[in-house]
A and B are shown apart, each in its own frame.
Chain A
Amino acid sequence: MKARVFITLKNGVLDPQGKAIGHALNGLGFGSVGEVRQGKVIDLELSGSDQAKAKDELKAMCEKLLANTVVEKYEIELKP
């Protein structure tokens, strides 16, 4: 089973990298770009086929290591 975890900053947490990316895009002439927030994507391969169990495990992984829940939120996507 494959999983993808998206980790992004919580709303209200300052994202200077996102801001710099936005400025750079504006500088390239993409005037339509407003606020930009960046984050990371982690792809994982998991053994087993129980989706509910995998989701629980991934949640625990996010809480323990993959995300710093003081400033980050996460979304889990499971792929068959």
Chain B
Amino acid sequence: MKSAVIVFPASNCDRDAKVALEQMTGKTPAMVWHQDSELPDVDLVVLPGGFSYGDYLRCGAMASQSAVMRSVKAHADKGGMVLGVCNGFQVLTESHMLPGALMRNAALKFVCKPVGLEVQETQSGFTRKYESGQRVTFPVAHGEGSYFADEETLDRLEGENRVAFRYAKGENPNGAARDIAGILSEKRNVLGLMPHPERVVDDVLGGTDGRGLFQSLIEALS
């Protein structure tokens, strides 16, 4: 499985993603600068967490207009897989590659802590190695992660089994609609989620619940 990590100015989880991909796939991902308009030939593109362009205007808004995002969209349109974590999820909604928006946390506080999640949907290349309903713990670290979409869109996401991860009961850290933590695109080749699976692939770093996501990708893309 060949992968690339996009690096925006003020991305700060790009190296976490790189280390996790190296550890899980045995291959070093290509690190692609936001001004590069061409992507290398890869199976997976990761949009990492951080504060791209200083979160100016809105989180992910400036990044969605960057040169590299045109290639990322083209990669997804061809069926290529794209994983957006935290700020990467915000970039995906701002790019209209995923529906809805990520709003300021309901309690107005930046939350940085491990959060219990339920894997809602295992029929995807990102989640097939998990059990349906499996409880996992991923860390979150965001100030604007409250998922919002109109009722019709939320119903459609649920109806099409596109809610991949939900915050476990009582664990919603940001007021997200219907406890949504991560969603899939219509073609199920794009996943955006606020929690950080790449930070839990090694016991030394606090857990291994995120390994399933990378194992799913390896299986789906081999």
Given A65-B65, A70-B101, A71-B101, CB of A17 within 8 Å of CB of B175: no
Choose among B61, B105, B149 the residue that contacts A65 (Cβ–Cβ < 8 A).
B61
> What distance in Å separates the Cβ of B202 from its nearest Cβ neighbour in chain A?
35
> What distance in Å separates the Cβ of B142 from its nearest Cβ neighbour in chain A?
14
Given A65-B57, A65-B61, A71-B101, CB of A13 within 8 Å of CB of B106: no
Q: Mark B95-137, 1 if CB is under 8 A from A, else 0.
A: 0000111011111100000000000000000000000000000
Cβ of B53 < 8 Å from any Cβ of A? no
A16 touches B101 (CB 8 A): no
Nearest B residue to A71 via CB reads B101
If over half of B's interface residues share one DSSP class (helix, strand or loop), that class is named, otherwise mixed; here it is loop
Choose among A17, A20, A71 the residue that contacts B148 (Cβ–Cβ < 8 A).
A71
- In the bound complex, residues from chain B placing their C-beta under 8 Å from that of A14 are 103, 106, 146, 148, 175
Would you list which residues of chain A between 1 and 22 have a CB under 8 Å from chain B?
Answer: 13-14, 16-17, 20
Interface range for B: 10 to 19
Cβ of B93 < 8 Å from any Cβ of A? yes
Cβ of B198 < 8 Å from any Cβ of A? no
Cβ of A26 < 8 Å from any Cβ of B? no
Q: Mark B76-99, 1 if CB is under 8 A from A, else 0.
A: 000000000000000001100001
B100 touches A70 (CB 8 A): yes
Q: Mark A41-80, 1 if CB is under 8 A from B, else 0.
A: 0000000000000000000000001101011000000000
A68 touches B175 (CB 8 A): no
Q: Name A's B-contacting residues (CB within 8 A).
A: 13-14, 16-17, 20, 65-66, 68, 70-71
